[in-house]
Structure 1
Amino acid sequence: MKNPLHHLTFKLILFHQHFLNPIKHGDFVMPNLDNCQQNFTWHNWNGNLTATPSNYCKPTDANDLPKIVLAAKNAGKKVRVLGGGFSWTPVVPTNDYMIDMTNFNRIISVDMEKNLVTVEAGMMVGDLSVELSEKYKLSLETETVIPYVTVGGAVALGCHGTGYNQGTYSDLVVGMEVILADGTWRTFTVESDGEEMMNALRVSLGALGIIFSVTLQCVPLFNLQVVDGRADMVDTINNIQKLVTSHDYVEVFWFPFNKQCWIKTWDKTPKPATESEIKWGWDELKTYLEISTFGKFLMDRLQNTPSLTPLIMQFFSFLMPENKLADNVIAESSLVFHYQTSYLQVWDMSYCINIPNNDFTNVQKAWNQVVNRVNALKDQGLYPQNMVLHTRYIQNSSAYLSPTVGNDHTCCIEILTFNGDGRPTSQYEDYFKQIEQDWIALGGKPHWGKAIYSIDNLKSMYGANMAKFLQIRQSLDPNQVFMNDFLYQVFQMQPSK
């Protein structure tokens, strides 16, 4: 069934996101070929990161990219590439050259025999989904929830959606075109360069070069049966193995101080779509909180009267939608994957926990650690978590720097809290650090784009995989052109003289 409102709806959402509520990129003035904008201040979407690069470049001609790299290299400067600006970690900021790739935002080619799409790295993942669906009747088998991240950014950070038998977004990559530190263009594929090189490139943190385009493995367009509902939280976690392994895609949410959790399941179906637009709950909740007088009052109370947090969390949980299998809600996969299109500024930390041989014991421990800490802190009059605990379930990855590398399957578990301006208070950070240590003790690794406190431990977490990556990094960028302060800390490297 054709989705007539899908493309128009998505474009209106993008217009709202980038013009009515834009990422704070300032009033950008296009530079000349050899003159990127100076004295420009960049902020990420959440507002917790800022940078004033010596040159902020947003080229429209791909031939400018190697010129910028060589200009930086010759001046002894660094180059960092930004995507949608949705990361909490300082993976992008630099005081030198910052490149905005969002003008490179088109599909280059589609191989209908092999179901492959080659796309420029600055295209938004949501735009790619729409175009694949409407023009080519193709889909990706896994997607990020956020539609506004760039393809290059999603690949470089190992971003993911859900799907117990699906990998990360990066694992869809079978080829990549990169501008290297010497200004040369190089196309990498599994066939020509082997799995080791591709396993470094698939999650590179932008440390190997400028990703100009990627080739992704697609599948024929498919529909998903969507079921949203509430269930007893304790029963759900006690039986989480059965829930996750019984469905193609599963997400579980818990608003603190509720006996119930909210569950989303999606299953592939040959049945035709019944919906071209679905009210997903999150978007309605954000709109309600930002526009309605009572909603604004509730958000103010979360910050200024935290003792009301339990009541407000119960109300938020009540607002989440429910439907049953009998309701027959079916939609195209791209619409279902990108169910969340608007966001509150929150503090977010996510860790990837191994599920060995379908043993969910550590998942249950990680979940219960949050519940127990939330309840214990409540007894002390503290409410550092005032948004959801959220889990998604995916397959392992072979990419060296993927937080799911070496796992059988993975639970991606995250906690979110609201503080108005996206920045955490010391109370929030103390809580996040405690949870982080709990999850590290279970063998967890952090999402590269979300809050990380144990940065100095990352190299040891990745062990031999990090060593393999750094060997390839040295071969591709011996002069450290694509480094920044965060990466020096992660890799435990010293800047070259």
Structure 2
Amino acid sequence: MDLFDRFDLLPALIVYKNAPFQNWGLVVDYTPQYTCIPNSIGGVQRIVKYARDNDMSVRCAGFRHSWAPIFGRHGQITISLLSLAEATKIPNFTALSKILPEWLLHKNELQTLEVVSGTPRVKGNVLVRIGASTTNEQLRRWCVKNNKYSYPLNVIMVEMTIGGTNAPICHGAGRRHETLSDLVRRVEYVDCNGKLQVVDDPRLLRAAAGCFGLMGVVTHLTLEFEPMSYALMKPEKIPVLRAIPPPDDMRDDEIPPALRLQDWTPEQRAADIAKFEEVATNGFYTEWFWFPYSDLCWVNCWDTTDNPSGTEDYPSNVQTFFMFISQFTMNVLQNATVLNELIKTLHLDEAAVTLISRAAMFALPAWEEPVKTYLPDALHFQRGIQNVRVLDVEVEIPLQPSETNPTKPDYAVVRRAWWDAILSCYAHSSKGCPQRMPLEMRIMGGSDIVMAPQKGNKLGTCAIEVLTLEAARDMWVPYAEEVIGKWLSYRDREGKRINTKPHWAKQWNGINVDGKPWVEKMKHKDYRLEKEEFKGLLAEIGKKHGWTLKDLKKRFSNDFFDAFYFDDI
């Protein structure tokens, strides 16, 4: 970029002209006319007023982690909640800020963290006001340092902004937990007229707390935090068959030979199923990882305690540095042209992926006794993820009621989804191995947020995803479509298709289901009623604050949202 294309308009606002935009997964790119980096509410207001006066649109981005087309428009304005170096460069050192002194960490008005007055919905909880540019790493450090309150759920990555994590309705794990947006009690945003506004009505928050930035530029979110608790982490490496046993109707000869256990008795199988279902139903945090062609599953399921005695810092500084180096090395190797060509020429794809999986499993911990650590440390147990680019598809499958007790979940569909993904991976082992990163699954709750894919899942949700390295891009989409096709095919006991939906922030654009673009199913079936309720609530907010849906379309939308929400405006 030419140095003269960067200029300072104000002390609180830096602007780049015609700076190309790419998302982290390298599947979205465009060139905004202006990329603005504000560090104050006033800076945001000036940007929006400029957009209004010049008939331009504004969209925000943080670490750019979404694979979905939710960013800005070509030739318009992009607000970067972080500096371009922090948001775009690899290696990224956010995870290593743990070992840096506090005074070295840059903070501004959009990165505030403070307990504020107000009445939480649960007695004993508190309300915490957080700037939208605050990173998960800054939030994690703040919670651990104060050791009083913590968020009960979050994504794993520390390289995410709070605004960016909340906007597309992201989630954590554990059946008692909903989405991050469900924790929001107040939204402060700059509207299409450049005015600072507030939404705190619980009914209106069902739209405002997970609105993809369509309402305006969110400057601060107030979330409800719980008293600090301590995770009793005891990760395990368990044979794949025993971690999540296959569905009852799966024949033994369908199981890949490498995964079979000769001495696995029917009694052990029944006990393993009961253990899995008990943990999935009642565990505070429940997550399973399977790396391609590994005969072990990494099980990261744990509960918490209120007793702080014996609390350890996890990961330690040394462990964090090792994670950082491991992730960055993986990214370097996947982009090594000579190495990739050698693997293809010698048909060593499966061997290479197997080595990657073994290295990943070796790096993950397994402990005989639980390690007690701060809850936010346990939620962000893996650091430096920013430094290896991947592609990722995820769906949210509603848990189905048990036939004998409809108030309890049945996990037959969950086990089927898990093993369908494993079998698909093995079926492609001689076809270039398109899946090169793990199969991951979490059991979580439902949601009250209107546009959440978990909305209405009263018994909970199976959040399941498959990932690959960015280097496997050319063969990824057909493979992803095959796996997703299986996940979307499941039916309930009445023969109706289960209402499985994609994670908004993951990769669904450009993917077909049932021979048609997935987004068509999302618009005309999955969210047909929800999107009308969503627009109705936004219109109600706008009536109070002096704007209309037409104003939102002009100021804060993009091509995708125009077609999905505003096609009748």
TM over 0.5: yes
The equivalent residue for 1:455 is 519
TM-score, with normalisation over the residues of structure 1?
A: 0.84
2:331, 2:212 → 1: CA distance? 42
2:393 to 349, 352, 355: 349
User: Retained in 2: the 8 A contact 1:289–1:295?
Assistant: no
User: Retained in 1: the 8 A contact 2:125–2:227?
Assistant: no
2:485 to 422, 433, 437: 437
1:475-494 matched pairs, under 5 angstroms = 476=542, 477-479=549-551, 480=553, 481-491=555-565, 493=567
Q: Return 5+ residue gaps in structure 1 as ranges.
A: 1-25
The equivalent residue for 2:216 is 209
The equivalent residue for 2:416 is 365
Partner amino acid, structure 1, of 2:80? D
Q: 1:105-134, CA deviations, whole angstroms, 9 ceiling, x for partnerless residues?
A: 112543497511111111112211221331
TM-score, with normalisation over the residues of structure 2?
A: 0.74
1:287 to 325, 330, 333: 325
Q: 1:461-494, CA deviations, whole angstroms, 9 ceiling, x for partnerless residues?
A: 1221121112234553322111001222433726
Query: Judging changes above 3 Å, is the alpha-carbon distance between structure 1 residues 118 and 27 closer, same or farther for their aligned structure 2 residues?
Result: farther
1:375, 1:414 → 2: CA distance? 16
Q: Secondary structure at the match of 1:31?
A: strand
Residue 97 (structure 1) aligned with residue 90 (structure 2)? no
1:44-123 matched pairs, under 5 angstroms = 44-95=23-74, 96-102=76-82, 103=108, 104-111=110-117, 115-123=126-134
Give the percent of matched residue pairs that are identical in Structure 1 and Structure 2. Answer: 22
Q: What is the CA-CA distance between 1:290 and the residue it aligns to?
A: 4.6
Q: Return 5+ residue gaps in structure 2 as ranges.
A: 83-107, 119-123, 246-272, 402-408, 491-498, 512-517, 543-548
The equivalent residue for 1:165 is 176
Query: Judging changes above 3 Å, is the alpha-carbon distance between structure 1 residues 385 and 403 closer, same or farther for their aligned structure 2 residues?
Result: same
User: Retained in 2: the 8 A contact 1:391–1:411?
Assistant: yes
2:81, 2:16 → 1: CA distance? 15
The equivalent residue for 2:531 is 466
Partner amino acid, structure 2, of 1:90? P
1:235-384 matched pairs, under 5 angstroms = 235-238=242-245, 239=273, 240-269=276-305, 270-278=307-315, 284=322, 287-288=325-326, 290-291=328-329, 300=340, 305-309=348-352, 311-313=354-356, 315-316=358-359, 318-324=361-367, 326-343=368-385, 344-357=388-401, 358-378=409-429, 380-384=430-434
Q: What is the CA-CA distance between 1:322 and the residue it aligns to?
A: 4.0
Q: 1:55-74, CA deviations, whole angstroms, 9 ceiling, x for partnerless residues?
A: 21112331232332232123
Q: What is the CA-CA distance between 1:273 and the residue it aligns to?
A: 3.7
Q: What is the CA-CA distance between 1:440 and the residue it aligns to?
A: 2.8
2:199, 2:327 → 1: CA distance? 46
Q: What is the CA-CA distance between 1:236 and the residue it aligns to?
A: 2.1
**Which segment is superposed worse, 32-41 or 256-265?**
32-41
Give aligned pairs, total: 461
User: Retained in 2: the 8 A contact 1:152–1:211?
Assistant: yes
- Tell me the C-alpha RMSD between the 2 structures: 3.0
Q: What is the CA-CA distance between 1:313 and the residue it aligns to?
A: 4.9
User: Retained in 2: the 8 A contact 1:285–1:319?
Assistant: no
1:242, 1:61 → 2: CA distance? 47
Q: What is the CA-CA distance between 1:330 and the residue it aligns to?
A: 0.8
The equivalent residue for 2:165 is 154
Q: Secondary structure at the match of 2:325?
A: helix
The equivalent residue for 1:30 is 8
2:155, 2:413 → 1: CA distance? 24
- Computing the radius of gyration over CA atoms, which structure comes out larger, 1 or 2? 2
User: Retained in 2: the 8 A contact 1:262–1:320?
Assistant: no
Partner amino acid, structure 1, of 2:437? M
Structure 1 moving runs of 4+ over 6 Å: 279-283, 292-299, 301-304
Residue 398 (structure 1) aligned with residue 442 (structure 2)? no
Residue 188 (structure 1) aligned with residue 199 (structure 2)? yes
